[in-house]
Amino acid sequence: MQATHGFADLVRLRTRVIGYAIAFALALSALVLALGSTARAAEPKHKTYLGSGTSIAFGYSQELFNENFPTENPEAFEEALPAGSGKPNGVVLDYFNLLQASNPGWTRQINDGCPGETSASYIGNGQTGKILEKIIAGTHTAAPCAYKYVNNFGLHHEYKGEESQLESVLESIRNENSGKNATKHPIQILTLDLGANDLLAAVKKCEKEVAEGIWTGASGEPPITECEIVSLPAVIGALNHNIAAVLFAIRQGGSLCFADCDEGDQGVNYLGRISFGGFYNPFGSVITPGVEINPGSNFLDFVVNIATKATVSKFGVCYANPQSAPGNHALAFNPLINGEPALEPGRLQAWTNMANTTTAKNGNKAANGPDIHPTPLGYEILAQGYAAECGV
């Protein structure tokens, strides 16, 4: 879309974007098959937690990547800085610790996170992706996990062969929630964060178009905001189609035989708890209260969270929103949304690496920031957000 079209009233456009986001998500309800009862016969003695998603699940930060380059041992991302502190790093480990503190029956965790994962690469372009493209029109697929298959870096839980992260998740559910394992150590909580890299790609596209002069600010909005507001409906549509496809596959993993089921082994429909980690806005007011690094980004993030929550709720999924943290506002990354703009710079500085001005100490002197990823404290806050909004 050209910048000269559709700017007669961007205020009304902002309102329509919110309405579109909700309407689109509600339309996806037709994709959901009956989930059946989620009641379990008996509480197993040992339970497994599966964390899945992007660099957030993995526990990534640019500083940890720089300090460990070029080996990138996955275990190095599990220890918070400073090195030797003995503290865990990453939302999966932090949330697992909260689960264990609430119930010693949580004895196993699987971390499937892949840094840089998009919703399309999460699905992958293998058999599962092809099935989903046919079932759910608008599903987009891509080659899986470039961090592993292109850059040759290790994961906490390696995928088999050339499978995607979704296929690895489905395989874990089939292995742990069927046969004897179903009574020994079944997966009973699955957390998923997905979509942040899709949104970042849209921001970079707008930055490129602004540099090319396509967006001029003629509406009175900053050029970057013009582009992002007009682009948002299509971005939301593509993202939520893929998120719906992912949840459809997990909930219907047995009846539709995803994950290359063998004859007589039809997999498992996962009916257990799924908690989806929503989006915080790292481009908010990092330095000055009310002055966002990316103008209008809190509003746009607010809309994405509305749409994504509506989408995942149709699949019986709990939505943990770190932007506003409705379960506990003290955990909100962007308290500007809650009418507390003065709190935002301190939180973004402490909970993200956006104000990180250090360089790597291992000789490569690479810049550790600004980096959108959480600090160790930020990961703890995200885990507490899961607990506050979705339970332990």
Tens of pLDDT, residue by residue over 180-198, are 888 889 999 999 999 999 9
Q: How buried is 264 (Cβ within 10 angstroms: 0-12 exposed, 13-18 middle, 19+ buried)?
A: exposed
Is the pLDDT confidence value at 256 over 70?
no
Q: What share of the chain in percent tops pLDDT 90?
A: 70
- Identify whether 4 is part of a domain: no
Is 308 within a domain? Answer: yes
**What H or E segment, with its residue span, contains residue 208?**
helix 196-211
| Of the candidates 182, 326, 338, 138, the residue with the CA atom closest to the CA atom of residue 318 | 326
Q: Which residue has the higher pLDDT, 37 or 88?
A: 88
Q: Torsion over CA of 43, 47, 52 and 56, rounded to 10 degrees?
A: 110
pTM, full prediction:
0.88
Least confident of 60-64, 111-115, 174-178, 304-308: 174-178
Q: Is residue 228 part of a domain?
A: yes
**Mean pLDDT across the stretch 200-206?**
94
Query: In this predicted structure, what is the pLDDT of residue 368?
Result: 93
Between 84-88, 216-220, 274-278, 361-365, the lowest mean confidence (pLDDT) is in 84-88
Domain presence at residue 33: no
Q: Residue 199 sits in a domain of what CATH number? A: 3.40.50.1110
Tell me the pLDDT band of 259, cut-offs 50, 70 and 90: low
**Does residue 37 form part of some domain?**
no
Give the pLDDT band (50/70/90) at residue 89.
Answer: confident
Residue 5 lies in a domain: no
Segment 212-235, tens digit of pLDDT: 999 988 888 899 999 999 999 999
313 falls within a domain: yes
d(CA 158, CA 156): 6
* The pLDDT value given to residue 80: 76
Predicted confidence band at 79 (pLDDT cuts at 50, 70, 90)?
confident
CA distance 50 to 113: 10
Q: Which residue has the higher pLDDT, 50 or 85?
A: 50
Total domains in the chain come to: 1
Residue 219's pLDDT is what? 82
Question: Helix, strand or coil for residue 291?
Answer: strand
Task: Output the CA–CA distances (angstroms, integers) from residue 201 to 108, 119, 204, 222, 315, in the order listed.
Answer: 34, 12, 5, 19, 26
Q: At what angle do helices 223-251 and 196-211 cross, to 10 degrees?
A: 160
Q: Confidence band (pLDDT; 50, 70, 90) for 31? A: low
Domain of 265, in residue numbers? 10-26+44-390
Percent of the chain whose predicted confidence (pLDDT) is above 70? 85
Spatial separation of the C-alpha atoms in residues 143 and 141, rounded to whole Å: 7
When pLDDT is cut at 50, 70 and 90, the band that residue 254 belongs to is: confident
Arithmetic mean of pLDDT over the chain = 87
DSSP state of 276: E
pLDDT at 5: 39
pLDDT number for residue 374: 96
Alpha-carbon distance 163 to 128, whole Å? 9
